[in-house]
Chains A and B, each alone.
Chain A
Amino acid sequence: QSALTQPRSVSGSPGQSVTISCTGTTSDVGGYNFVSWYQQHPGKAPRLMIYDVTKRPSGVPDRFSGSKSGNTASLTISGLQAEDEADYYCCSYAGSYTFVVFGGGTKLTVL
């Protein structure tokens, strides 16, 4: 069982928006503004999409955005495109003992 809870799957049609949630505790998501999101296509390495809850690395489309409320972080993808179909993982700093925890991953299907 992963430390952070994500829905197993979400889906949307091209052009629509989808939101993936990531629920943790006050020891991780709720305690720090250090949530990151990763996209992983089959057979590929993960790619950083969002870090520090809302920041987007250069090269990541602005269709991807992050937010947080309490112990739940969210990744929103607007204007869905076929290439967005992938697995998405949230990740949070969890203090100086555990350091980093990941969510179990969410499979995004673009219908």
Chain B
Amino acid sequence: EEQLVQSGAEVKKPGESLKISCKGSGYSFSSYWIGWVRQMSGKGLEWMGMVYPGDSDTRYSPSFQGQVTISADKSVSTAYLQWSSLEASDTAMYYCARRIVGRTWGFDIWGQGTMVTVSS
């Protein structure tokens, strides 16, 4: 079964760093872009950026450029989303999603989500 499994919920303080993960299985992880999507409580979906595990090529939404770092390690079939200094406004659910391969745009497999809570 093709799936993405994300790391568990996190509770952090403002100013702390954090790295959450998204592990793929059941398919050739290196060959598909992995995107990250933020969803704040009661709000809509926001695209943050994506990484191609095959060569670690990364693209960011202008809204999130410089705010987070997206990376991948194809040797362990895992993509990452990290913050160097969290803020309360980073509190949200974060989803990873696989982009359909080819000249097409759609995210066909989603992780279960990682809830990040930032509070003093």
Contact = CB atoms under 8 A, between A and B. Distances in A.
B95 interface: yes
Where chain B touches its partner, the secondary structure class is: strand
B62 A34 contact: no
Interface in A79-111: 89, 91-93, 97-105
A72 interface: no
Interface stretch (B75-83, B84-92, B101-109): B101-109
Contacts of B44: 2, 89, 102-105
A99 B107 CA distance: 13
A70 interface: no
The size bracket of the interface on A is 20 to 34
A57 B100 CA distance: 10
Contacts of B59: 99
A102 B46 contact: yes
Contacts of A51: 100, 104-106, 108
> Which among A45, A47, A93 has the highest number of chain B CB atoms within 10 Å?
A45
B45 A89 contact: yes
Interface of A: 2, 32, 34, 36, 38, 40, 45-48, 50-52, 55, 57, 89, 91-93, 97-105
Interface of B: 35, 37, 44-47, 49-50, 59, 61-62, 95, 97, 100, 104-108, 110-113
